[in-house]
Amino acid sequence: MDRVIVVGGGLAGLAAAVALAPRGFRVTVLESRPRLGGRAGSFTDPATGQLVDACQHVSMGCCTNFAHFCRTVGVEKFLAPQPRLTFVTPDRRRSVFKADPWPAPFHLGRALLGAHYLTPVEKLRVAWGLAALLRESPDADPPLREWLTRHGQTDRTIERFWGVVLVSALNETVDRVGLRYARKVFRDGFVRHRDGFTVHVPAVPLGRFYGAELRGWLDRHGVEVVENVGVRRLTAGISGVELRDGTTRAADWYILAAPFDRVPDLLPPDLAVDPFFAGAKELTPSPITSVHLWYDRLPLDLPHAVLVDCLGQWAFSRGEVAPGEFYLQVVVSAARPLKGLGRDEIQRRVVEELARVFPSAARAKLLRAKVVTEHTATFSAVPGVDRWRPAQATPVHNLALAGDWTDTGWPATMEGAVRSGYLAAEAVLVRAGRPGRLLQPDLGG
């Protein structure tokens, strides 16, 4: 039985392991942290002992490979579909975004028409811009803001429509992204299939999401998971994995499923400068800040809300997590403008904003808070970013790459991570003489 070592127990590495284990491979996953899930993890709240996600992660109906992974390992039951999105502005007005029982792309027409934060003329501008966007070539990737301006969009439509959707979806501002992945977000998420836009929110902390069911599946399929083990680098000729304790592990195949900023250090020096791998050094990170708040009463009368013209983009309510304590998380994507602000200042701004937007938050007393910033949360989807994203099949026969930063055709998402793991597994299967199709078709594809 061929042996595979997967370096990294994040979603990409787990997807590769789940794909290969039932196909005659003995898989070992090496993870430096004391948990699985990578960036999608939880911490323990010292006051209550409860697991709290470092950052809220969500999926969408168009994320077919992530959904397949969840079904495979038995955690699909922990995803709660949200067919209604509520958009809220600082004046406390709300619009509900839901699909009508019409075929795509007409299913969301009435939802767009009902958006209170756009004027009738602005809605026409947006509709015109969407039509033009969908006519563009899938490979076109000019700077998005310039393209939007050339296609009739104003500062207000960019901030109140395009930015509201894309900053959360791409973790980057409209000023910095390229057209390609903006087009993909709208095409796959809102136009191609009527279920594509449905948000799926984990109903349990991510630490639980990657818990008993996943580990049980891995155990049943003979996957060895080794946590708290640091990898120093792959050895010359990719003949083994050198660990930080000085020992080595060997296998027939290796999948490097590490973040892009770690890859150069994990490769042998000769490969780190190889043009195939060198693109990882050109990718730039984009941060996400999450503000965790505990109140003495329910601060939000919705499970979640999309915030328009606010510092935060999403607010997620978990309800009462301990007697007399109600937990709320606000996510600030593309959090680069917060750099230089202290945690207390970020907390103050978010708490004051919530009090302006939600009457219930204004009446609630803040008990405590925690601000968490993931500085390298995703790669920045700048124009032409794909030229730096390598394929999963590398020039080295027994080495594959996985990670949402590799060439998946998707931006940095959980879907992109799973796709990369499946594609890395496909590369191993081909070179092992057992080719097989693992990647799942797109929704409606």
Structure tokens at 247: 């020992």
42-63+76-96+197-203+285-379 under CATH 3.90.660.10, yes or no: yes
Flag whether pLDDT at 248 surpasses 90.
yes
Classified by CATH at the fold level, domain 100-191 comes out as: protoporphyrinogen ix oxidase, domain 3 (1.10.3110)
pLDDT digits (tens, 9 = 90+) for 170-221: 999 999 999 999 999 999 999 989 899 999 999 999 999 999 999 999 999 9
Query: Does the pLDDT at position 358 exceed 90?
Result: yes
pLDDT of residue 94: 97
The residues spanned by each domain of the chain are 2-38+210-282+382-431, 42-63+76-96+197-203+285-379, 100-191
Whether 300 and 315 have beta carbons less than 8 Å apart is answered as yes
CATH number given to 2-38+210-282+382-431: 3.50.50.60
The single residue listed with the structure tokens 């998420």 is 189
Tell me the percentage of the chain whose pLDDT exceeds 70: 100
**Residue 39 above 90 pLDDT?**
no
The band of 45, judged by pLDDT with boundaries at 50, 70 and 90, is: confident
pLDDT average, residue stretch 60-76 = 97
Q: What is the largest CA-CA distance in the chain?
A: 66
What whole-number distance in Å separates Cα of residue 8 and Cα of residue 17? Answer: 10
pLDDT at 444 over 80: no
Confidence of residue 445 (pLDDT cuts 50, 70, 90): low
Reported as a single tens digit per residue, the pLDDT across 80-131 is 999 999 999 999 999 999 999 888 888 999 999 999 999 999 999 999 999 9
Token pair in block for residue 414: 């959980």
User: Long-range pairs for 234-241 at CB < 8 Å and ≥24 separation?
Assistant: 234/7, 234/266, 234/267, 234/268, 234/271, 234/399, 235/268, 236/268, 236/270, 237/268, 238/268, 238/396, 238/398, 238/399, 241/5, 241/7, 241/30
The candidate with the shortest Cα–Cα distance to 248, out of 265, 260, 261, 236, is: 236
Average pLDDT, the chain: 95
Contacts of residue 192, Cβ cutoff 8 Å, sequence gap at least 6: 62, 104, 105, 442, 443, 444
Concatenate the DSSP letters of all residues of 419-442 into one string.
HHHHHHHHHHHHHTT-----SPPP
Strand 314-322 and strand 253-256: pairing?
unpaired
- pLDDT at 49 (0 to 100): 83
Q: Which of 4-13, 49-58, 138-147, 310-319 has the lowest mean pLDDT?
A: 49-58
Query: Any residues with CB less than 8 A from the CB of 314 and at least 6 apart, and which?
Result: 56, 168, 304, 305, 306, 307, 330, 331
| Weakest mean pLDDT among 48-52, 66-70, 71-75, 164-168 | 48-52
Residue in the block written with tokens 């606010």:
310
Residue 65: the pLDDT is: 98
Strands of the sheet with 59-60, listed across from one edge: 59-60, 199-202, 79-82
